[in-house]
């Protein structure tokens, strides 16, 4: 599928697109690569369109000139970021929020726009301490989409997140952790950075032995770790959510502080405090 150039992206003021008007129910938002009248050519015939990192044969650059991809951060500070993908969904998401509220823990929720729109009541008033991230509109594998298709998935979810949570998403987690050229170019057009993870809940592995899952997370978390969990999915994922409390308390006992992904990255960029002699 090629870019016809019939759709143009809105202008990108500053770091982030300012989205005016929700328009989700109307069937989508205008999208596409600015100046994309001509598609990049000269690629091998077997190369999928989703591999293209440059969506236009003309001049093109992402909003900030670059897209950062983060798995973890390099720091000696005992900071860790909990992240939850795929929600919000009934039962699961409220359970996670209840635990985080009780334990006074910050987290980053990578939200699916379509699910957020359908379940807005689940997060109403519950996101104050947390960060909202973009996990696309329909949880589609961005690495299989054209630039325009990937852009629409991010743009619609961005609008939903802003409208419902009041927060402007700054970070994208591509579904399944799949990266492609068009994933990066669409993220770049919206001024997003990409967040992957450095350790994930191995729910299926430890479904029958929850204490070992707790030990796995607590013993393998390092300063700067980004932890992947989910607030919806197959029943085996509940083994992680039902054992969040011992994980949180185990990490705190080792001196870890819980921060959002953005706070983790910002802390790593600052000079670390001098050690006392």
Per-residue pLDDT tens digits for 2-27: 333 333 333 333 433 333 334 443 33
Per-residue pLDDT tens digits for 190-231: 999 999 999 999 999 999 999 999 999 999 999 999 999 999
Question: Which residue is listed with tokens 């700054």?
Answer: 170
Mark residue 164 as left, alpha or beta (left: phi above 0; alpha: psi -120 to 50; beta: remaining): alpha
CA-nearest of 110, 219, 116 to 175 is: 110
Measured between its terminal Cα atoms, the distance across the chain in Å is 63
Which two structure tokens, joined as six digits, stand for 232? 């919806």
CA-nearest of 4, 83, 26, 56 to 186 is: 56
The catalytic residues are 85, 230
Give whole-number Cα distances, 13 to 19, 30, 59, 140, in Å: 10, 16, 18, 27
Q: Mean pLDDT per segment of 10 residues, for the chain of length 277 residues? A: 38 37 40 44 78 91 97 97 98 98 98 98 97 98 96 98 97 97 97 98 96 98 98 96 98 98 92 65
Q: What is the pTM of this model?
A: 0.84
Regarding beta strands 79-85 and 257-258, do their DSSP bridges make them parallel or antiparallel, or are they unpaired?
parallel
Distance CA 110, CA 130 (A): 11
Answer whether 195's CB lies under 8 Å from 184's CB: no
């Amino acid at each position: 599928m090629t870019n016809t150039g019939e759709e143009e992206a809105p202008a990108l003021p500053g770091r982030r697109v300012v989205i005016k008007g929700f328009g989700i129910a109307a069937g989508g938002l205008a999208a596409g690569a600015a100046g994309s009248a001509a598609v990049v050519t000269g690629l091998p015939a077997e190369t999928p369109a989703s591999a293209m990192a440059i969506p236009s044969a003309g001049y093109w650059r992402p909003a900030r000139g670059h897209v950062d991809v983060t798995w973890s951060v390099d720091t000696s500070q005992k900071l860790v970021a909990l992240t939850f993908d795929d929600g919000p969904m009934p039962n699961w998401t409220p359970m996670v929020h209840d635990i985080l509220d009780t334990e006074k823990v910050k987290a980053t929720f990578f939200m699916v726009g379509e699910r957020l729109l359908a379940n807005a009541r689940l997060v109403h008033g519950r996101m104050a301490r947390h960060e909202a991230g973009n996990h696309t509109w329909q949880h589609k594998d961005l690495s299989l989409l054209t630039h325009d298709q990937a852009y629409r998935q991010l743009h619609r979810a961005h609008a939903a997140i802003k409208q419902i949570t009041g927060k402007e998403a700054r970070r994208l987690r591509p579904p399944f952790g799949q990266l492609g050229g068009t994933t990066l170019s669409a993220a770049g057009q919206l001024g997003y950075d990409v967040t992957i993870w450095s350790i994930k809940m191995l729910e299926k592995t430890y479904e029958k032995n929850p204490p070992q899952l707790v030990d796995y997370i607590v013993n393998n978390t390092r300063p700067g770790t980004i932890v992947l969990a989910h607030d919806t999915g197959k029943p085996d994922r509940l083994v992680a959510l039902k054992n969040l409390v011992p994980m949180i308390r185990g990490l705190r006992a080792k001196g870890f502080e819980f921060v959002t992904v953005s706070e983790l990255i910002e802390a790593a960029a600052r000079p670390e405090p001098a050690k006392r002699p």
